[in-house]
Chain A
């Protein structure tokens, strides 16, 4: 299952029990369940009367006892006597009279609830699920005010259930007999009062808490969560400007919170003026619709520029015209219902256009989103009826729940986008990693190929060198021995000599293979070691006058064999031709001077006849061939050789460079 589908599935699974819980809670609040009643008493009847000429502020204490007040009031007003009403009770709102200001005298309504006798000796409480009006509400228990609203008269705590302690029955005090509720309302807006409950705390608290949770707490908690998630989206959106969906998500969160504010206001005064608060909460609905529309454009991918412009203009105009600035429109409150109608229209347009576009784009997310948005219309009708006391006042406002659902859908969409993006990045990364690995493998393979090639070349060069050496050395020696034996000229001693030469040749070839680590002296030592028995047998004393030499980095096996063969040839010549009895081998390092580069010199002196080759030494002879070989090898090494005489006999010098010029080698 792809991660996005999985996420969607999870959200659905999580949403199901939530909805279930919510419907159960709503049902529990909406209908009086007998099982919750316990020993509490549900009051569904009250006495009602209107009081004329009273002010806004409720008196802290009624001057007389309940009965007396009733009588006095009846005496004074005559016609305005108490009438029994059943709860919930509503005084209708008149749209025509809505212009009356809050400064005008209020319409004061009294409700009188009788507390039935017979409660055990314990603290009693009054629980009132809901009341609604624009104005002030006060609760009196046996003539003493126990509660009053203190906040704004408009944005009062109408959506909060009332919880008033009635005082204790114990301690010899008289039990509470009656509860009076004074509702001072703005002229024409009417008011409503739900049924009431009287009873001990443990019988009523669950009911009260449940209703408080459903009407306000859940809404405020959800708002806080919206805001937190919205701020996170804002941070993401600011970092990723190219994905406006995150900023739009923040805007949705903010407008949803603003929209829900008036459902959760409590008894404390508001930090902003009433009219600004109203402007904010009413227009937030329009704003959230506009933002939802913009968000939806990103969801279904359709472009609706004209509609977008129309919606933006309408919402903007609405926001400006309803600004609570006296110079702008004097009768803002008069047009507020019109605003609601406008927004309902807007909602319908957004929902229908969104559904259509989502259907066109086959966007399931869009369909779900706009199906939910279209629920705003029946819910709005429900809430409007509730606000105007046309339906049971104990119902719960649905708009906040639609906001919560909307937000959940938004959250799911953004979550899917986010998870999808992360997944896409992972896929891309995996692709990159595998590409990289493939490239690495290619590189390794080509590197390996190169190495193999190099190794093969080295082997081929080495093979060629050995072949050449065998051809020139052992091969030709063996051939000459064979010829001698074939012609019957060879004595056993001659044959043995040739074969010994062959073995010596082989030994030198083997010595050239062992790494000398650029040490020419090691090579000379090996040569001495090899030739010493022959020289000794020939009665020649070898003196060793070598000095330490600087390393010659170019001294590889091939170069080593060249050096060994040169010196072997020279020593063999001395042995054969010079009749010397002493040979001295010396080494010397010469520093570079001017054009002469630094070099090392191997000097071989003997006390026999000096051998100085002329230019005319015929190359066809064996000696001539040997000299040519020596010269050729010296040249191949980038060095030089020279035969000369000294006062005591013959001398040969081999000069070798410290550093070999590769270009020169290439030519050779």
Chain B
């Protein structure tokens, strides 16, 4: 019985939900060139994405927010419920804080600027799957402002940011990148990434009830 040759990198199963044909083609082409990435889901709109989601497990899902028949946020929520281990990236032109924050609340773990080149894109995907979540100063700033507005005793402990998490956000909001932040805090880059992931996860908690409601609506959860 022949044993399969061990591949140097595990293959990542990628899903793409994108309505713009040229962007979609660029993504498909980029994935095709990467040996460790495999396209398992391709959808043009919301309905198609929701229909195909249950068909095969995913490692990384790229979602565009502005879909012709609905919001990419619904796709993100559905994917979150269907494949909890899947890392979801929202692809955006400007990476403005409003879009990014809403995506993170829906279950995304990061965002991808559409104007990055193919090599960067592949790198981002791998980094995300490995546990690195990008965070922009503007988003960090917004999350900090929100944390300050929440009265800690009144909130669930699971939604309150820890002091270290807030420290990360403060560094990022002042323009320091991950290396500089890690150095200033005396931790590794991975630790900083872990903090960012945790922060994102806490943002999702606030909208989990909404996600469950959406899942019922989509028929993804049995009653």
Q: Please, how many angstroms separate the alpha-carbon atoms of A506 and B120 in the complex?
A: 21
B97 touching A528, Cβ below 8 Å = no
Q: Residue A511 at the B interface, CB < 8 A? A: yes
A533 touching B96, Cβ below 8 Å = no
A544 partner residues in chain B, CB cutoff 8 A: 175-177, 180
Q: Residue A424 at the B interface, CB < 8 A? A: no
Interface contacts beyond A514-B96, A525-B141, A544-B177: sample of 18 additional A-B pairs, CB < 8 Å, sorted by A? A500-B115, A503-B93, A506-B94, A511-B96, A511-B138, A514-B138, A519-B141, A521-B174, A521-B175, A522-B174, A525-B137, A525-B172, A525-B176, A529-B137, A529-B138, A532-B177, A533-B116, A544-B176
Contacts known (A506-B94, A510-B94, A533-B116); A522 close to B141, Cβ less than 8 A: yes
Give which listed residue, A507, A511, A532, A546, contacts B174 with CB less than 8 A: A546
* B interface footprint on A80-106 (CB within 8 Å = 1, 0 otherwise): 000000000000000000000000000
**Residue from A506, A519, A524, A526 having most chain B Cβ neighbours under 10 A:** A526
Q: Please, how many angstroms separate the alpha-carbon atoms of A526 and B94 in the complex?
A: 12
The secondary structure that dominates the B interface is loop
Give which listed residue, A519, A521, A529, A533, contacts B120 with CB less than 8 A: A533
A503 touching B115, Cβ below 8 Å = yes
B138 partner residues in chain A, CB cutoff 8 A: 511, 514, 522, 525-526, 529
Contacts known (A503-B115, A506-B94); A528 close to B175, Cβ less than 8 A: yes
Q: Chain A residue with minimal CB distance to B95?
A: A507
**Minimum CB–CB distance for A37 against chain B, Å:** 92
Q: Residue B173 at the A interface, CB < 8 A? A: yes
B94 partner residues in chain A, CB cutoff 8 A: 506-507, 510
* B interface footprint on A509-547 (CB within 8 Å = 1, 0 otherwise): 011001000010110111111001100000000001010
Q: Residue B159 at the A interface, CB < 8 A? A: no
Contacts known (A510-B96, A514-B97, A514-B138); A525 close to B173, Cβ less than 8 A: yes
Question: What are the 6 tightest A-B residue pairs by CB atom distance, in nearest-first order?
Answer: A525-B175, A525-B137, A528-B175, A510-B94, A521-B174, A510-B96
A sample of 24 inter-chain contacts (CB < 8 A) reads: A500-B115, A506-B94, A510-B96, A511-B138, A514-B96, A514-B97, A522-B137, A522-B138, A524-B175, A525-B138, A525-B141, A525-B176, A526-B137, A526-B138, A528-B137, A528-B175, A529-B138, A529-B175, A532-B177, A533-B116, A544-B175, A544-B180, A546-B175, A548-B174
**Minimum CB–CB distance for A508 against chain B, Å:** 10
**Minimum CB–CB distance for A388 against chain B, Å:** 98
The secondary structure that dominates the A interface is helix
What size tier do the contact residues of chain B reach?
Answer: 10 to 19
Q: Residue B207 at the A interface, CB < 8 A? A: no
Q: Please, how many angstroms separate the alpha-carbon atoms of A548 and B54 in the complex?
A: 49
**Minimum CB–CB distance for A83 against chain B, Å:** 112
How many pairs, one residue from A and one from B, have CB atoms within 8 Å of each other in the complex? 52
**Residue from B136, B141, B173, B175 having most chain A Cβ neighbours under 10 A:** B175
B120 partner residues in chain A, CB cutoff 8 A: 533
A503 partner residues in chain B, CB cutoff 8 A: 93, 115
**Residue from B94, B137, B177, B180 having most chain A Cβ neighbours under 10 A:** B137
Q: Please, how many angstroms separate the alpha-carbon atoms of A366 and B97 in the complex?
A: 86
Q: Please, how many angstroms separate the alpha-carbon atoms of A503 and B92 in the complex?
A: 12
Q: Please, how many angstroms separate the alpha-carbon atoms of A322 and B138 in the complex?
A: 107
**Minimum CB–CB distance for B171 against chain A, Å:** 10
B176 partner residues in chain A, CB cutoff 8 A: 525, 544
B residues 111-147 near A (Cβ < 8 Å) are: 115-116, 120, 136-138, 141
**Minimum CB–CB distance for B80 against chain A, Å:** 26
B172 partner residues in chain A, CB cutoff 8 A: 525
B residues whose Cβ falls under 8 Å from a Cβ of A: 93-97, 115-116, 120, 136-138, 141, 172-177, 180
Q: Please, how many angstroms separate the alpha-carbon atoms of A529 and B171 in the complex?
A: 13
Q: Chain A residue with minimal CB distance to B172?
A: A525
Q: Please, how many angstroms separate the alpha-carbon atoms of A506 and B177 in the complex?
A: 22
What size tier do the contact residues of chain A reach?
Answer: 20 to 34
Q: Chain A residue with minimal CB distance to B180?
A: A544
A529 partner residues in chain B, CB cutoff 8 A: 136-138, 175
Q: Please, how many angstroms separate the alpha-carbon atoms of A529 and B97 in the complex?
A: 13
**Minimum CB–CB distance for A537 against chain B, Å:** 9
Q: Chain A residue with minimal CB distance to B176?
A: A544
* B interface footprint on A215-241 (CB within 8 Å = 1, 0 otherwise): 000000000000000000000000000
* B interface footprint on A412-442 (CB within 8 Å = 1, 0 otherwise): 0000000000000000000000000000000
B97 partner residues in chain A, CB cutoff 8 A: 514
A526 partner residues in chain B, CB cutoff 8 A: 136-138, 175
**Minimum CB–CB distance for B33 against chain A, Å:** 19
Q: Chain A residue with minimal CB distance to B120?
A: A533
Q: Please, how many angstroms separate the alpha-carbon atoms of A589 and B172 in the complex?
A: 21
Q: Please, how many angstroms separate the alpha-carbon atoms of A523 and B137 in the complex?
A: 9
**Minimum CB–CB distance for A586 against chain B, Å:** 12
Q: Please, how many angstroms separate the alpha-carbon atoms of A511 and B139 in the complex?
A: 11
**Minimum CB–CB distance for A148 against chain B, Å:** 94
B141 partner residues in chain A, CB cutoff 8 A: 519, 522, 525
Q: Please, how many angstroms separate the alpha-carbon atoms of A544 and B184 in the complex?
A: 12
Q: Please, how many angstroms separate the alpha-carbon atoms of A506 and B113 in the complex?
A: 13
**Minimum CB–CB distance for A459 against chain B, Å:** 19
Q: Chain A residue with minimal CB distance to B97?
A: A514
**Residue from A529, A532, A544 having most chain B Cβ neighbours under 10 A:** A529
Q: Please, how many angstroms separate the alpha-carbon atoms of A532 and B115 in the complex?
A: 14
A506 partner residues in chain B, CB cutoff 8 A: 94
Q: Please, how many angstroms separate the alpha-carbon atoms of A24 and B117 in the complex?
A: 117
B115 partner residues in chain A, CB cutoff 8 A: 500, 503
Q: Chain B residue with minimal CB distance to A528?
A: B175
A521 partner residues in chain B, CB cutoff 8 A: 173-175
**Minimum CB–CB distance for A510 against chain B, Å:** 5
Q: Please, how many angstroms separate the alpha-carbon atoms of A510 and B93 in the complex?
A: 11
Q: Please, how many angstroms separate the alpha-carbon atoms of A406 and B8 in the complex?
A: 122
A519 partner residues in chain B, CB cutoff 8 A: 141
Contacts known (A529-B137, A533-B116, A533-B120); A522 close to B180, Cβ less than 8 A: no
Q: Please, how many angstroms separate the alpha-carbon atoms of A546 and B171 in the complex?
A: 11
A525 touching B96, Cβ below 8 Å = no
**Minimum CB–CB distance for B19 against chain A, Å:** 19
B180 partner residues in chain A, CB cutoff 8 A: 544
Q: Please, how many angstroms separate the alpha-carbon atoms of A524 and B137 in the complex?
A: 9
**Residue from B97, B115, B116 having most chain A Cβ neighbours under 10 A:** B115
* B interface footprint on A314-358 (CB within 8 Å = 1, 0 otherwise): 000000000000000000000000000000000000000000000
**Minimum CB–CB distance for A557 against chain B, Å:** 13
Q: Chain A residue with minimal CB distance to B93?
A: A503
Q: Please, how many angstroms separate the alpha-carbon atoms of A526 and B96 in the complex?
A: 10
Q: Please, how many angstroms separate the alpha-carbon atoms of A519 and B180 in the complex?
A: 20
A527 partner residues in chain B, CB cutoff 8 A: 175
Q: Please, how many angstroms separate the alpha-carbon atoms of A532 and B175 in the complex?
A: 11
